């Protein structure tokens, strides 16, 4: 499968602070970059995505930025809240529309 590296593996922030998670991918032909959130005991769900013709996308407190030259994209969460606590994934798309998930980032927002 496609290779994606995600950092950090764990992240703790105080409520109200910002959180940034970064993913680095290997395939320069990739053009779709999603972020999934998985709350404890639940299925993963898409929270935001970006395509290669766009450098940044925002949705309220969540934003994704893409640097195609450096082959990395980042998830930014501002004004974090306890309900943001979850595991976040940045899967890489394979050649056959499959998605390969990395190790994920466990985010804990401390009230």
How many residues bind another protein (CB under 8 A)? The answer is 22
Interacting positions 56-75 with another protein (CB under 8 A): none
Task: Find the part of the chain contacting another protein (CB under 8 A) among 16-24, 30-38, 63-71, 78-86.
Answer: 30-38
Say how far apart CA 25 and CA 5 lie, in whole Å.
7
Q: Report yes or no: 75 and 64 within 8 Å, Cβ to Cβ.
A: yes
> CA dihedral defined by 35, 22, 14, 12, rounded to 10 degrees?
100
Q: Indicate whether 96 belongs to the interface with another protein (CB under 8 A).
A: yes
Can you tell me which of 17, 46, 59, 67 binds another protein, judged by CB under 8 A? 46
- Computed from CA positions of residues 45, 8, 61, 69, in that sequence, does the dihedral angle turn out positive or negative? negative
CB of 13 to another protein, least distance (A): 21
Q: Is 83 in a helix, a strand, or coil? A: helix
Task: Find the part of the chain contacting another protein (CB under 8 A) among 13-21, 39-47, 56-64, 70-78.
Answer: 39-47
């Amino acid at each position: 499968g496609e290779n994606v590296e995600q950092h950090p593996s764990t992240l703790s922030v105080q409520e109200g602070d910002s959180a940034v998670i970064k993913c680095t991918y290997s395939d320069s032909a990739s053009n779709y970059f999603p972020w999934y959130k998985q709350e404890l005991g639940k299925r993963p769900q898409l929270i935001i995505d970006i395509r290669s013709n766009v450098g940044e996308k925002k949705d309220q407190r969540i934003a994704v930025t893409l640097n195609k030259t450096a082959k990395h994209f980042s998830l930014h969460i501002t004004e974090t809240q306890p309900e943001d606590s979850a595991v976040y994934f940045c899967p890489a798309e394979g050649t056959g529309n499959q998605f390969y998930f990395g190790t994920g980032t466990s985010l804990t927002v401390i009230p």
